Structure 1
Amino acid sequence: MPPIKRAPTLTPSQLRHVLAVTQATSRHPERDCLAILLTHCAGLRCTETARLEVRDILVQGSGKLRDEVLLRSATTKNCRSRVIFLTNPKLRDALEVYLSYRLRNRLGCVLSAPEWRGLMPFTKLLLTHRGGGFELVKKRRILPDGRKAEYWAADALEARFRELYRAAGIKTSSHAGRRSFASALLKKGVSLEQVAILLGHQDIYASDYDVIFLL
């Protein structure tokens, strides 16, 4: 079996550096900082991040940020719904900054939806410079048992993650966020089983090795 290439885990100081560089150099710092924090603070995959919608993170009526988000099965890698948490203060601040940016620039807004802060609830949370969601590409992979499985990949957003990390002097992918998220939880004493659930794995021996590398 060929060696498994794994993204590195980032220390808190490295994450702060990446965010500082992104803030200083990105043409869309509000969106890009939020994308990075969604992976580091909520354990989202790149494609899950791309598929988040406004209605997923806001409470209808009040327009408040949710503390817990139920990821719909249609948006996850293994087609199983799971709960993520938006309780990290830095993540919540980034969400507020980006939502305010969207409102100021009238991105995906409609006057008839005050219960969603004036945002269109079914629009993607993260928008490209053209005002739409990041494109998804259908791909195939070979499962451990030899079967072929189709899946959607947000290649454009993944490329953006790599650009942001590269600008900060770190050669890695969006997966660094999930690995850093898992590592931080384990250091706090969260059980391996609980971490696996938060990452959306069926068990601790999941095929994409988010958790098993920490054993």
Structure 2
Amino acid sequence: MAKAKVLSKEEIKRVMRIADTGRNGLRDRVALSLSILAGMRIGEIAALKIDDVRGIDGNAVSVIHLAKHQTKGNRSRRVFVSDELRKLLTSYLATISGLDGSKALIRSTRTGVHFSNVSLSLRLKAIYLAAGISTSSHSGRRTFATQKNALGIGMRTIQHLLGHANIATTALYCDVSDEQMLNAVNMSNM
């Protein structure tokens, strides 16, 4: 199976513009952003409840605590939320403020319940295709890991951000560009 594409900044902007044009634009943008900006798995996004991301003040939390049943590998984990993602989540939460916190954060407008992993994966893949990008829903997660690696963030930190048990798995997520390699050899130790 081929690796999911790592998205460029321009491709991310295009994908977000496409998501915004849909009937459920903000919801789709939030789902994509949880993948691209927080490195969350599709199953983790699908399993989120409103109270997982909503703080006491009604705004988005800075750390999402995922229970064992919400993750791959049946291990609880923390997802750290960037300022950009918190702002988007807070906007989305304002649109659904009247809903019970135990309801699905990303839910089907048809049924009102959680998307299945497959349904959410197909939804994100359709948005990518509409943006002219042929890839899987896993692109957001790979993009997140590769961007962090390009910033010089250590592999162990990226491993924890992705919730991987094995650092070798994390290394598979991180593409390395020619520019990064050139910068690395030009760094001086003297």
Confirm or deny a common fold (TM above 0.5): yes
- Show the counterpart of 1:7: 4
Residue aligning to 1:46: 42
Q: How does 1:191-202 map to 2 (within 5 A)?
A: 191-202=154-165
What's the RMSD between the two structures over aligned residues?
Answer: 1.5
Q: Distance in 2 between matches of 1:187 and 1:213?
A: 12
Q: Which runs of 5+ in 2 are unaligned?
A: 176-190
Instruction: Identify the residue that residue 26 of structure 2 maps to in structure 1.
Output: 30
Task: Tell me the CA shift for residue 213 of structure 1.
Answer: 4.7
- Which of these residues, 87, 93, 101, is aligned with residue 93 of structure 1? 87
TM-score (norm: length of structure 1): 0.76
CA drift of 1:211 comes to: 3.0
CA shift in 2, pair 1:158/1:213, >3 Å: closer
Q: Which residue of 2 aligns with 1:126?
A: 106
2:58–2:93 CA contact under 8 A, matched in 1 = no
1:102 aligns to 2:65 (yes or no): no
Which structure features the higher share of strand residues?
A: 1
- Aligned to 2:79, the other structure's residue is in SS state strand
Q: Distance in 2 between matches of 1:166 and 1:23?
A: 14
CA shift for structure 1 position 41:
0.5
Give how far 1:88 is off. 3.5
Query: Is contact 1:21–1:168 with CA below 8 Å preserved after alignment?
Result: yes
Stretch moving more, 93-102 or 175-184: 93-102
Q: Deviations over 1:177-209 (max 9, x none)?
A: 000000111111111111111111111123xxx
Give the partner amino acid of 2:138: H
Hey, what's the Cα distance between the residues in 2 that align with 1:213 and 1:97?
30
Partner of 2:15: 18
The 1:156–1:30 alpha-carbon spacing in structure 2 relative to 1, beyond 3 Å, is: same
- Higher helix share goes to which structure? 2
CA distance in 1, matches of 2:133, 2:5: 9
2:72 alignment counterpart: 77
- Give per-residue Cα distances to partners, 1:106-153, cap 9 Å, x unaligned: xxx3xxxxxxxxx31111111111222113xxxxxxxxxxxxxxxxxx
Gaps of 5+ in 1: 104-108, 110-118, 136-153
Say whether the 8 Å CA contact 1:53–1:121 is kept in structure 2.
yes
Map 1:107-186 onto structure 2 (within 5 A). 109=98, 119-130=99-110, 131-135=112-116, 154-186=117-149
Amino acid at match of 2:140: G
Q: Secondary structure, in 3 states, of the residue corresponding to 1:211?
A: helix
Name the SS for the 1:42 alignment partner.
coil
Determine helix, strand or coil for the equivalent of 1:84. Answer: strand
Cα distance in 2 for residues equivalent to 1:66 and 1:177: 21
Task: Say if 1:211 and 1:88 are closer, same or farther in 2 by CA, change over 3 A.
Answer: farther
Query: 3-state SS of the aligned residue for 2:121?
Result: helix
Q: Which residue of 52, 56, 69 corresponds with 2:52? A: 56
